[in-house]
Chain A
Amino acid sequence: QVQLVESGGGVVQPGRPLGLFCAASGFSFSSYAMHWVRQAPGEGLEWVAVISDVGTNKYYADSVKGRFTISRDNSKSTLYLQMNSLRAEDTAVYYCARSVGYDSNGYWGRFDSWGQGTLLTVSS
């Protein structure tokens, strides 16, 4: 079965960097676009970034553009999120999610599988 397991969260000071990881199993990782979605405590979901199946195309939400970098290693079935210049408002549970149903409009598809999330707290 599809399994996505995030790790790397923790407490970090404002302005510092941190990397998140998402280990995938149970499916052909290199065949799917992958996303990061976050949820601040008590708040709603926010789409963060997407990376194409082979890693050549990457897109970001305006709120993280220039500070976060999404990447993947298909040989290790692992998704990454490198976060720099962290702010208090980046505090959230970060989920990795698989999407299916890509089409030529640039739509990556719906999020059909999610990890359990990893909590990042940005605080001094």
Chain B
Amino acid sequence: QSALTQPRSVSGSPGQSVSISCTGTSSDVGTYNYVSWYQQHPGKAPKLMIYDVSKRPSGVPDRFSGSKSGNTASLTISGLQAEDETDYYCCSYAGSYTYVFGSGTKVTVL
């Protein structure tokens, strides 16, 4: 199972919006609405930010939103803040009780 494809990096100025794409196949992202997104600061454990494509866990700011079209899911951060600068990973159910993660994207706040 190959990793989902994410851009290596995206950047934006404070207050702007950035989007991170996550491209899979018809065997994972394209078939299941089970895409989640994780934020990971250096040396820390990942933190769940979005699940089931577009649902937000309690405590996650509504600046974070998710969507999906075909084989590509997206995470959008609106009103970018300095503390949003870190790594983000998508994850999809891949069938047969397994998962696949994305390659990871570093968000830089200019």
Contact = CB atoms under 8 A, between A and B. Distances in A.
Contact of B97 (A45, A46, A57, A111): A57
Nearest to B46: A114
Contact of B48 (A46, A62, A110): A110
A15 interface: no
A37 B97 CA distance: 14
What range describes how many residues of A lie at the interface? 20 to 34
B3 to A, nearest CB: 6
B97 A110 contact: no
Given A45-B89, A106-B96, A95 B45 contact: yes
B103 A61 contact: no
A46 B45 contact: no
A59 B96 contact: yes
Contacts of A14: none
A115 B95 CA distance: 25
B48 A112 contact: yes
Interface in A83-111: 95, 101, 105-108, 110-111
Q: Give me the 5 closest cross-chain CB pairs, A-B, nearest first.
A: A110-B51, A114-B45, A47-B99, A59-B97, A44-B104
